[in-house]
Structure 1
């Protein structure tokens, strides 16, 4: 909590950090809530109250510049947690609480900890504590429309009053410093949101909470998001996916993810896809995976026999992307749905990416061996220059840079062209072979140019994916409709990010908008914190890593601060809000590699979210994607072949 929620957001005072590390927050929450003690949020306490978010408490301490030897007054003790932490920093804490039941419970907790320099008092916070004044700092944990003169007068000269001032929607957190007997200065700290400070003492239960509602430029943006969005139910169940029926009239629906290793992104896309296929006539599921590997999944869901001695698909790093616990039940559901649909309405599963040269060459040769043995012999000769590099085609790219090294481009392109011409005859096997040949041709060039750096290799890869999607739609006919699963960096329009504006890159989402216009819906997915499956380096082992809570200057923080744990926001339906969200902000991108230690530079990039996507699905806390247990023996069980289970 101290590292990721407080220090990571800019609190540097070692005394504050040490105090938060010392005080056991779990004793300030109700029994049964201990497992959530250190989450980045307010939590319920007794009498239907809440204990405030740790960061905002630390922010107020930092603004008050509390230090050893200070005498401090806290107005609004609540659970007693803030007062307890404060007592580990300063000489003496007096904390006033207007609700008797809360004051009694807070005092008991403080006594249990043995913090003798901390006093909890039942009283009216607006009156302050005259007999104990003056104070070096006064902290007010509830909002007022103006700064109370009474509290200002109870400051020592040089003392600081930190208080939220404003109306019901939002307040400005202010630091007021007493500079003389009748002189004060003030400075604004941040936009926040607190409950009101009321007069008097009450014995009955009340309602209290404080949460951080910061934004970069507009105080009410988190609340505006909360008002405009559609809150979503749990992902399990058809009611979640029903919210995405608004995009059922599109020809292409692209579903993103801000990391390749998050369970909820896969589960959400699976639920949405099942509904769009079963109820709305979508016939193509196209993913950021390789064509020959996806073909095994395709054969499974259409009930087609797998080739003899076929290799298990998706064995290339990172295997967890498409061999995970979400995929078997998802593909099984698609297979069952297909069994109820006429042949022309059945869904297929296809890979858009270009990495698997070896699998595509094997598929091409297998097709030609069966249909044209003479062409197969020619193809083997043409692909001969790639044979030494099939297990690691990146080595081919490096060798191709050397002077005098013969490139394979001419031969593989010739093979591609011939198979594409055959595919015009509308033979299903020929079409698949042609797509594999396209992959080999694209991948050959991709691996050859990747060593030059720059945008060309990225652009080639996304152009290949866009072209493959276009071929699938053409092959499916006028009524074909596609769902695409890919990372936000591929499906969010590159022109609205640093990719296009700075690096000159285009991507799948941009190309789709250029080709199909309003028939495309680009839906991004985001999260605030949790865990993720990722590696530390390319081709490294899978690790479960904690996702650092999002930065204060990011889009993710705006959505976290809105307080809705799951939501869908359609930007086109809310033009005024979209305009306000169009100031560039940081957006987080986690791929198969995650490096928390350099997260700002490794995983954040500037973007304009409402231009990047048509809609945004927010899942505040998410969990690591679980890979399948390895089990490679699929002999005799072809019906479960894709996973060997």
Structure 2
């Protein structure tokens, strides 16, 4: 299912016409009415040319405990490189403790162990990222992430064990791998726990690690592993009072949590897209909370996810169908002053995506943004990279309405983009800041160790 909704053509077209008719559309605009009733838009912005230009963003982030960094696609190089630049500065200058990504727990925990281990070179970083071998492999198996992983490994060499920066996956898809990863942690444990884990393995075994096959079996009322996964989670949760501070127990619990919520996700997706979306985002928010608890009361987190997870859902059309997301849940749980949401977007360029679920990756063109969209307005303002702070545009009456904002998933068809790739958004409220990259290029993927087609773990959501 394409999760990106159609936006309001009429309102967007009017807004774009207003911008084009204004005399100052290519400069910093000021609000005024002319005799011909055209209106100019005020969009103050800051240049984004190098890492020093991030000073204004770091200033605004202040003492926030959680910083969520979005992206308008999973296949754009600049989104990854600018998020890496921001993350390095947050770690170095503000003491952030870990990066949590829209990736699988088991694969990402291997990256976590890599960056906390002995010093390795960039070739070793590339090899560890090849372990992201399930479709879409390019999301974390890419050279942009390899550069960051190399830096994190080097950065951690001078830090104590407790001070080392971590790297974790928040997602829920890969419950089979999490169950495999769980078993070594519980060898010799309470027999009831071992038995509960074995029962989960046995329940899922007929589906050969194929999530879609399990979902079909649930739909046909021939499978249901909810009792087994619930019993495993309840049994392992009794091993500690709340979130454990012992890492081995924390990891074991997290793998069991992935099994619990992964089963719920795949079971619900056959009947309700909204429910499956909410299960997934609530799982990611729960994992983020567990990581913060594990790292202590003063810990700070950086989150990398798609804009559809980062930007507060209450200020998009997602709210119409009852969908929530991580950005909204974080603001509600930690308070808006402790959470800083950063969106990303671009006008045109190229992107890595697939033409269908599980299809080979392709480098695809990203057409010029649709007239009246947020990205088109920013391009007409000036065809340069820029930082927009929400506090500077909150008084703008036009931007307080929903405007189409482009979002590209792992499945993409540029030819029909204008029919559904724009999310109606109140930008000053959806994000605290927005980074606009006028022209972008495709991500540089690391080829997985095998060319065999893997099941599309992100099914049915493109983000």
What TM-score, normalized by structure 1, do the two folds share? 0.61
Tell me the residue number matched to 1:565.
384
Alignment partner of 1:420 out of 237, 259, 264:
237
Shift in Å, 1:447: 0.5
Distance 1:573 1:276 in 2: 23
Distance 2:411 2:218 in 1: 27
Distance 2:141 2:198 in 1: 31
Alignment partner of 2:163 out of 345, 348, 363:
345
Unaligned runs of 5+ residues in structure 1 are 1-8, 10-171, 174-187, 196-209, 633-645
Distance 1:496 1:474 in 2: 28
Q: Is the 8 A contact 2:354 2:362 kept in 1?
A: yes
Q: Is the 8 A contact 1:231 1:564 kept in 2?
A: no
Alignment partner of 1:468 out of 260, 280, 287:
287
Alignment partner of 1:356 out of 170, 174, 183:
174
Shift in Å, 1:390: 4.4
| Count of matched residue pairs | 418
Greater relative contact order (Cα 8 A, min sep 6): structure 1 or 2?
2
Alignment partner of 1:220 out of 31, 40, 44:
40
Q: Answer with 1 or 2: which has the greater Rg.
A: 1
Task: Give secondary structure in 1 for the equivalent of 2:162.
Answer: helix
Cα distance change on mapping 1:599 and 1:410 into 2, 3 Å: same
Shift in Å, 1:471: 0.7
Relative to structure 2, which stretch is displaced further, 474-483 or 412-421?
412-421
Tell me the residue number matched to 1:281.
95
Tell me the residue number matched to 1:244.
57
Distance 2:422 2:286 in 1: 28
Alignment partner of 1:191 out of 21, 24, 32:
21
Alignment partner of 2:339 out of 482, 506, 520:
520
Q: Is the 8 A contact 1:255 1:524 kept in 2?
A: yes
Shift in Å, 1:555: 0.9
1:386-535 → structure 2 map (5 Å cutoff):
386-403=204-221, 405-424=222-241, 425-500=244-319, 502-517=320-335, 518-535=337-354
Shift in Å, 1:534: 0.7
Shift in Å, 1:341: 2.7
Q: Is the 8 A contact 1:383 1:412 kept in 2?
A: no
Q: CA RMSD in A?
A: 2.8
Distance 2:418 2:378 in 1: 18
Distance 2:305 2:135 in 1: 16
Tell me the residue number matched to 1:113.
none
Cα distance change on mapping 1:382 and 1:304 into 2, 3 Å: farther
Tell me the residue number matched to 1:229.
45
Shift in Å, 1:433: 1.0
Task: Give secondary structure in 2 for the equivalent of 1:326.
Answer: helix
Alignment partner of 1:320 out of 138, 148, 168:
138
Distance 1:286 1:458 in 2: 19
Cα distance change on mapping 1:374 and 1:510 into 2, 3 Å: closer
1:60-86 per-position Cα deviation (integer Å, ceiling 9, x unaligned): xxxxxxxxxxxxxxxxxxxxxxxxxxx
Matched, 1:603 2:421: yes
Task: Give secondary structure in 1 for the equivalent of 2:170.
Answer: strand
Higher strand share: 1
Tell me the residue number matched to 1:556.
375
1:303-356 per-position Cα deviation (integer Å, ceiling 9, x unaligned): 1799xxx99531111000000011112011111112223333321111111011
Relative to structure 2, which stretch is displaced further, 508-517 or 593-602?
593-602
Shift in Å, 1:190: 5.2
Task: Give secondary structure in 2 for the equivalent of 1:455.
Answer: helix
Q: Is the 8 A contact 2:68 2:302 kept in 1?
A: yes
What TM-score, normalized by structure 2, do the two folds share? 0.84
